[in-house]
Amino acid sequence: MRRLPTLFVLFPALVLAACAEPPPESLSEDAKKAREHTELRDAIQTPINKAKGVEDVQEKQAEDQRDAIEDQGG
């Protein structure tokens, strides 16, 4: 029974260590080239990041509108 709490701590640590990405120096040439070619990924992520920024602005505007309505007695 004493080992059980130790296993609960060590098992997640081992899983996370196994999922870690290898250092760039140990990557093969093909893997290094794949990391360099990020145009497609950037093209996909740019509109997503832009939309996330718009969402924050819309939430702020909605909050301001609610505050304005409450100030007018509504």
Q: What are the boundaries of each domain within the chain?
A: 38-74
Measure the CA–CA gap between 25 and 34, rounded to whole angstroms: 14
pLDDT band at 70, cuts 50/70/90? very high
The upper half-sphere exposure of residue 16, i.e. CA atoms within 13 Å in the direction of its Cβ, equals 5
What's the mean pLDDT in 49-57? Answer: 87
**The pTM of the whole model exceeds 0.75:** no
Sign of the alpha-carbon torsion through 8, 11, 25, 46: negative
Give the Cβ contact number of residue 27 at 10 Å. Answer: 14
* Res 6: pLDDT: 73
* Res 24: pLDDT: 63
